[in-house]
Amino acid sequence: MHQKKFYGQHFLRDQSVVGAIIEAAQIKKGDNVLEIGPGEGVLTRELVLKAKKVISVDIDRDAIVATRNNVTSDRLQLLEQDVLSLRDEDVKRMFDDEPYVLIGNVPYNITSKILQWSLGLGHRPERAIIMIQREVADRLLAPAGDMSLLGVIVQLAASVSLVAHVPRDAFSPPPKVESAVIRLDLYSAEDNHARGVKDKEKIIRFAKVAFLQKRKQMKTTLGALPDVGVTQLETHLKKLGYPETARPEELSIGDWIALYNLTHQNCRG
């Protein structure tokens, strides 16, 4: 199948990487799988051997045809569609409102959009195993000291772990960048309650104020918010063990949650 640059296509060839993804996914007989970007069906072929139902979505008709030609199974459904156009009710209907696992070799030019789409669904996956650019994977795995806004968004919604680093020659054609497979285990409502997360979107908006001017100290950015103030922010940063000169990348996800809660403890929001 001919690779199309405008779709960011690089087809996985390395069976050891396929094996690592399958192992990390922990697919059982009764599981449903939503696969993004089946390519030529190399991974799809293994998924249909384990799952109850696999729905593979690709915007490229040639990829759908190639997968249909390479994988024959009554457990497989192929959708020629932009996965980002799938709405919450579409995903619910596809799997009869049952749980599912998200797996995919994500086009690197829309990684952030796909992550935020999947984490923002009402009917979210239980876990996700995705291939992404290694640089982005490093940002998602980032600890305190190297945090990013995307890291905050993803770590608020899921526990992130590294499955494998993937060399360029695992693909055809080889991409210009290194890749990585990560696993996301999404937090339940009970998990979020235990972590002190009442409203992810409000925490994200709060963090965004700081990260949009990340070279500035947070007392300058967040301290300017009418419901926060410089003095209060400095007090709360000190309580969390940070200097008043702290910048947004220095905080862990747990401390971002704590800082939001401390600065809004007397607010309804």
Residue 167 CA to residue 177 CA, distance in Å, equals 9
Asked whether residue 9 falls in the same domain as residue 111, the answer is yes
Q: Are 22 and 50 in contact (CB under 8 A)?
A: yes
Asked whether residue 124 falls in the same domain as residue 213, the answer is no
Residue 200: Cβ-neighbour burial (10 angstroms; 0-12, 13-18, 19+): middle
Q: Is residue 255 part of a domain?
A: yes
Q: Give me the residues of the chain with pLDDT under 50, please.
A: 2, 4-8, 269
Q: 186, 210, 242: which is the final residue of a domain?
A: 186
Q: pLDDT, tens digit, for every residue of 224-261?
A: 998 899 999 999 999 999 999 999 999 999 999 999 99
What are the beta bridge partners of residue 164?
A: 181
For residue 228, give the DSSP letter: T
Q: Hey, what are 163's tokens?
A: 């499955």
Which three-class secondary structure state does DSSP give residue 212?
coil
| Number of domains the chain contains | 2
For residue 8, the model assigns a pLDDT of: 47
CATH number at residue 149: 3.40.50.150
Asked whether residue 108 falls in the same domain as residue 129, the answer is yes
Residue 12: what are its φ and ψ, rounded to 5°?
-70, 130
Q: pLDDT, tens digit, for every residue of 7-40?
A: 445 778 889 999 999 999 999 999 999 999 998 9
Angle at 214 between CA 211 and CA 217, to 5 degrees: 115
Domain that residue 118 falls in: 5-186
CATH number at residue 240: 1.10.8.100
> Model's pTM, two decimal places?
0.90
Residue 89 CA to residue 121 CA, distance in Å, equals 9
Q: Is residue 269 part of a domain?
A: no
Asked whether residue 119 falls in the same domain as residue 240, the answer is no
The residue written with tokens 């009554």 in the block is 74
For residue 9, the model assigns a pLDDT of: 59
Asked whether residue 235 falls in the same domain as residue 111, the answer is no
